[in-house]
């Protein structure tokens, strides 16, 4: 039995998405900008997908710009707004210290040029305090970017409250909703945001395609220059198969998010309770209630997370240590560090992120397998520290 518990890294492509994309790849090769019938057939596919993505977040189709994924959407939002406001005095950008690298590194790049960047702190459960935003925002702030749900711990931010503060100061509010789309209801009016990033592969669609929702009337400078595609907001021939896949994934998400979220949350809670009960020295990282339905992040005292990940993988169980983009390095997670955790606790944490295909039997198996693996790793660590002490006593 192979068990996939890394849905925040990427999701399996839904069979209906594969079918829609295969059809477009095989049959609908037209360029959506061409005036002939082949082009018009492709344009209909792109427009239908635009309506599906808009429908998922309660937006208008003309406000959706297709991109190559969450990273590009974040870049377009932040760089596009910053550049558009360059002629004004608004040169200040604010984000949280737990954003994805797509936001953090974009701010770092802009801070080397004409902009000033401020990162907001979070509390011990990963939530931004609105007072912290009040304390740093000024009438020179151009943009505030706060992610909806965090990819490592799943914590959900109070976006509407934060957006109201930004708007009071005349700033634009962007959210990276890559991890909340498909896991909870997301509505741009309720959230009161001006720009929203999403990515297809986090909600059972294909990799390499996403969208940025831009509130009608927002001024934004395009970052990809070239042709006039996407109403002059993102140049380049549209990725019609990918966009068809995203549209199908959006339709699916609209139909099943609420019912699936409850089922997945129940499995996540069983997994979490089972681990806390059966494995000593475990702690939940993040907010136990204010979080997306599929995620639990747990620290295992005296266990190197990378070793546990490999041991689980050998048992056919796929999990992650924090964000996929930073694994492969032994840097403790910037998210857990920002929450004030010691580097020890941050380095001992494993993220379990569930999805639509997970079953109760799979969760039972993980709870069965995990205690032994943790015991073995702790014993090995203890034995090697005894050996090290012994060899230093021996002068070795």
Footprint on this chain of ligand PLP (rule: CB under 6 A): 69-71, 74, 100, 102, 147, 151, 176, 178-179, 199, 201, 210
Q: Between 154 and 332, whose beta carbon lies closer to ligand PLP?
A: 154
Q: How far is the CB of 335 from ligand PLP (least distance, A)?
A: 10
Residues 137 and 393: their CA atoms lie apart, in Å, by 57
C-beta contacts of 36-43 below 8 A and 24+ residues apart = 42/238, 42/240
The one-character DSSP state at 242 is H
Q: How far is the CB of 9 from ligand PLP (least distance, A)?
A: 7
Q: Supply φ then ψ for residue 189, to 5 degrees.
A: -70, -45
Looking only at the bridges linking them, the beta strands covering 295-300 and 282-285 are antiparallel
Residues 28 and 21: their CA atoms lie apart, in Å, by 10
Burial label, 263 (beta-carbon count in 10 A; 0-12, 13-18, 19+): middle
Q: How far is the CB of 170 from ligand PLP (least distance, A)?
A: 26
Q: How far is the CB of 386 from ligand PLP (least distance, A)?
A: 40
Catalytic annotation on 325?
yes
Task: Identify the sign of the CA torsion 60, 65, 67, 70.
Answer: negative
Q: Which residue is nearest to ligand PLP (CB)?
A: 70
Coil vs helix vs strand at 244: helix
Q: Between 9 and 363, whose beta carbon lies closer to ligand PLP?
A: 9
Q: Between 335 and 367, whose beta carbon lies closer to ligand PLP?
A: 335
Residues 153 and 261: their CA atoms lie apart, in Å, by 16
Strand intervals (E) in 68-209: 92-96, 116-120, 141-145, 172-176, 195-199
Q: Between 159 and 374, whose beta carbon lies closer to ligand PLP?
A: 159
Q: Out of 19, 111, 164, 325, which one is annotated catalytic?
A: 325
Residue 367 forms beta bridges with which residues?
A: none
Q: How far is the CB of 159 from ligand PLP (least distance, A)?
A: 14
Q: Between 176 and 194, whose beta carbon lies closer to ligand PLP?
A: 176
Q: Between 191 and 279, whose beta carbon lies closer to ligand PLP?
A: 191
Q: What region, left, alpha or beta, does residue 73 occupy, with left being phi > 0 and alpha being psi -120 to 50 degrees?
A: alpha
Q: How far is the CB of 31 from ligand PLP (least distance, A)?
A: 24
Q: Between 180 and 299, whose beta carbon lies closer to ligand PLP?
A: 180
Residues 390 and 396: their CA atoms lie apart, in Å, by 8
Q: How far is the CB of 107 from ligand PLP (least distance, A)?
A: 14
The one-character DSSP state at 134 is H
Residues 198 and 2: their CA atoms lie apart, in Å, by 28
Q: Are 347 and 326 in contact (CB under 8 A)?
A: no
Active site residues: 325
């Amino acid at each position: 039995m192979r068990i996939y518990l890394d849905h925040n890294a990427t999701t399996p492509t839904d069979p209906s998405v594969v079918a829609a994309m295969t059809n477009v790849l095989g049959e609908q090769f037209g360029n959506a900008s061409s005036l002939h019938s082949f082009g018009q057939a492709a344009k209909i596919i792109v427009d239908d997908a635009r309506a599906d993505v808009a429908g998922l977040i309660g937006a208008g189709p003309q406000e959706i710009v297709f991109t190559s994924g969450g990273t590009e959407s974040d870049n377009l939002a932040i760089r596009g707004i910053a550049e558009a406001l360059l002629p004004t005095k608004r040169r200040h950008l604010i984000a949280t210290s737990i954003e994805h690298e797509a936001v953090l590194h974009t701010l770092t790049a802009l801070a080397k040029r004409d902009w000033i960047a401020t990162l907001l702190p979070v509390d011990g459960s990963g939530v931004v305090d609105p007072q912290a935003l009040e304390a740093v925002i000024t009438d020179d702030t151009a943009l505030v970017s706060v992610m909806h749900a965090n990819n490592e711990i799943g914590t959900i931010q109070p976006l509407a409250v934060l957006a109201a503060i930004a708007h009071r100061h005349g700033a634009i509010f962007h959210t990276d909703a890559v991890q909340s789309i498909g896991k909870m209801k997301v509505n741009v009016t309720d959230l009161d945001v001006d720009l929203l990033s999403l990515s297809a592969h986090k909600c059972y669609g294909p990799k390499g395609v996403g969208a940025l929702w831009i509130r009608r009337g927002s001024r934004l400078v395009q970052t990809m220059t070239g042709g006039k595609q996407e109403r002059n907001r993102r140049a380049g021939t549209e990725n019609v198969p990918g966009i068809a896949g995203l549209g199908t994934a959006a339709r699916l998400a609209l139909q099943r998010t609420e019912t699936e979220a409850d089922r997945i949350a129940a499995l996540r809670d069983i997994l979490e309770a089972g681990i806390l009960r059966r494995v000593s020295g475990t702690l939940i990282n993040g907010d136990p209630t204010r979080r997306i339905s599929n995620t639990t992040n747990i620290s295992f005292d005296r266990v190197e997370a990378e070793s546990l990940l490999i041991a689980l993988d050998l048992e056919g169980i796929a999990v992650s240590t924090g964000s996929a983009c930073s694994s492969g390095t032994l840097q403790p997670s910037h998210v857990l560090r920002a929450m004030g955790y010691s580097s020890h606790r941050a380095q001992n944490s494993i993220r379990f992120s569930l999805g639509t295909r997970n079953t109760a039997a799979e969760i039972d198996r993980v709870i069965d397998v995990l205690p032994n693996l943790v015991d073995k790793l702790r014993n090995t660590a203890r034995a090697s520290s005894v050996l090290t002490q012994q060899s230093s006593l021996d002068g070795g």
